[in-house]
Structure 1
Amino acid sequence: MKDHCLALVAAKSGYNEKLNAMREYLQAYILSFMYEGGVFRHTAFVGGTALRFLHGLPRFSEDLDFSKVGKDKINFGALMSKVMRELELAGYSAAASVKEDETVNSAFIKFEALMHEAGISPLKSQKFSVKIEIDTNPPQGAVLEELLVNKYFPINFLAYDPASLFAGKVHAILIRKYTKGRDLFDLGWYLMTWKGIEPNFTQLNNALVQSKWQGPVISKVNWREVVSDAVAKADWKKLRSDVEQFLERPRDIELLSKEAVLKMLS
């Protein structure tokens, strides 16, 4: 399967295109082993990579994010051991650093020399990482759905529904000290893709309480105004560079403007 990854990257041109293709294939490959290991018995897929894999978000995403569901304990160490065994069998040279604490389980899988083998980097020493994170104490109120998706490998995902994923995105926009361009790109994509969508307010407000939000309770009445205020205050000069390298279509960067996003929120 490593040969398939290298062939996939070889068919692409340009640094970002090659890097994004390699990352996404490895994400799918790792997800397939996590699925076999039962990850969706205990967690739901969330975040930007979930939006891309499940709903076609036209930008690439860096991390694999999950939120715990139910009360059963997650054997994260065993799950990561399975992933690493399978990667080794497939011919990858990789190492994992795994951390488990009360609120987050995380792992960094570092691939040795893969960027050099794929023709992305001239340096054999340059490493490439995939980050995996499970929120073991997520805010309550999310709505779950099952989706069967075949993106390189068929997987039956348990995930947050669009309104709950949107709540996570709005939470990030309101809470981050420095807004990310990818958050505002995703916000605009949400508003264009799902006409009339609103965040899951129960989940959003629970998340804001966890984050010690000092602003108002968010509701159907005020959410657009509150988000518009955050959008207007963002440093738009820095936003484009944050998201540009991850866009599936580079020309989409022209859609990322304060005026366009505020108009969709009005």
Structure 2
Amino acid sequence: MLQEKGAFLNMAFLGGTSLRFLYSIPRYSEGLDFSKLASKNIEFDDLLNSIKSSFELEDYEAIIKKSKEKTVLSAFIKFPSLLYELDLSVHQDEVLSVKIEIDTTPPGGAATEVTLIRKYILLNLLHYDKASLFAGKIHAILTRKYTKGRDLFDLIWILAGSNWPKPNFILLNNALSQTDWPGPEINVGNWKEIIASNIKSKNWEHATEDVAPFLEHEADRYNLTMDNCLALLNKF
């Protein structure tokens, strides 16, 4: 639906859901994250109204709740009773919520690609490349004020892959500067050490509990350990 409205012409797909769509990371997500391209305009209200109208044409109720934040355009699209109607829940009043976020002032330095994938329908996705997605994940881990299990699961999954490049250091440092990170500039010589130091301070028990509801395979929660992460980081 976003593709039909031309969304992928003026913003790039990133974040956890992009990892699932593009590379089949075995965890679920709650939102769709995008980065505005510098030379493009985004009519967020028009996009949301088009999404709402499209669902209503199919007789699905859609409720839009938009944030007032202007730097990051954000909205929840809520679908009352949709899970019940699709036989995915026994509770008629259970609401499915999807969050859409668009960063209108993203840090510079990201590289993008276009990939044609099949997810029930053909999707032609403009997205951050692997190095830039990796940088985004590291930025989240270093700057988030709490331990988020999905961040650490994604990091382990990336480090365990055989075809992931080093992070995009230009993008990473620009993002860290934008969010006033107090640490040093990150480069090819120190990035592993900085990440290792950071993840040693994480609450890994909480991380496991946090990510568990989103895992495609329940047994994966037992692989989410600091020792596994440090070992993979050392070998990367």
Q: TM-score, normalised by structure 1?
A: 0.84
Counterpart check, 1:210 vs 2:178: yes
Q: 1:73 aligns with which of 20, 26, 41?
A: 41
- Cα shift at 1:265: 1.1
- Cα shift at 1:115: 2.9
**Whole-angstrom distance in 2 between the partners of 1:55 and 1:125:** 33
Q: Identify the residue that residue 132 of structure 1 maps to in structure 2.
A: 100
Q: Identify the residue that residue 246 of structure 1 maps to in structure 2.
A: 214
Q: Identify the residue that residue 167 of structure 1 maps to in structure 2.
A: 135
| Aligned residue runs from structure 1 range 1-266, under 5 A | 33-99=1-67, 101-195=69-163, 197-266=165-234
Does the residue aligned with 1:66 lie in a helix, a strand or coil?
Answer: strand
In the alignment, residue 63 of structure 2 is paired with which amino acid? A
Q: 1:196 to 1:110 in 2, by over 3 A?
A: closer
Is the 8 Å Cα contact of residues 139 and 210 (structure 1) preserved in structure 2? Answer: yes
Does the residue aligned with 1:36 lie in a helix, a strand or coil?
Answer: coil
- Cα shift at 1:101: 4.3
- Cα shift at 1:206: 0.4
Does the residue aligned with 1:108 lie in a helix, a strand or coil?
Answer: strand
Residues 98-151 of structure 1: per-residue CA shift (max 9 Å, x gap): 346431111111111223334444443332211101000100000000000111
- What is the total number of aligned residue pairs between the two structures? 234
Structure 2: gaps of 5 or more residues:
none
Is the 8 Å Cα contact of residues 139 and 203 (structure 1) preserved in structure 2? Answer: yes
**Whole-angstrom distance in 2 between the partners of 1:112 and 1:196:** 39
Larger fraction in helix: 1
- Cα shift at 1:198: 1.1
Is the 8 Å Cα contact of residues 158 and 164 (structure 2) preserved in structure 1? Answer: no
**Whole-angstrom distance in 2 between the partners of 1:52 and 1:117:** 25
Does the residue aligned with 2:122 lie in a helix, a strand or coil?
Answer: strand
**Whole-angstrom distance in 2 between the partners of 1:101 and 1:241:** 30
- Cα shift at 1:241: 1.0
Q: 1:227 to 1:82 in 2, by over 3 A?
A: same
**Whole-angstrom distance in 1 between the partners of 2:24 and 2:163:** 16
Is the 8 Å Cα contact of residues 191 and 197 (structure 1) preserved in structure 2? Answer: no
Structure 1: gaps of 5 or more residues:
1-32
Does the residue aligned with 1:115 lie in a helix, a strand or coil?
Answer: helix
Q: TM-score, normalised by structure 2?
A: 0.94
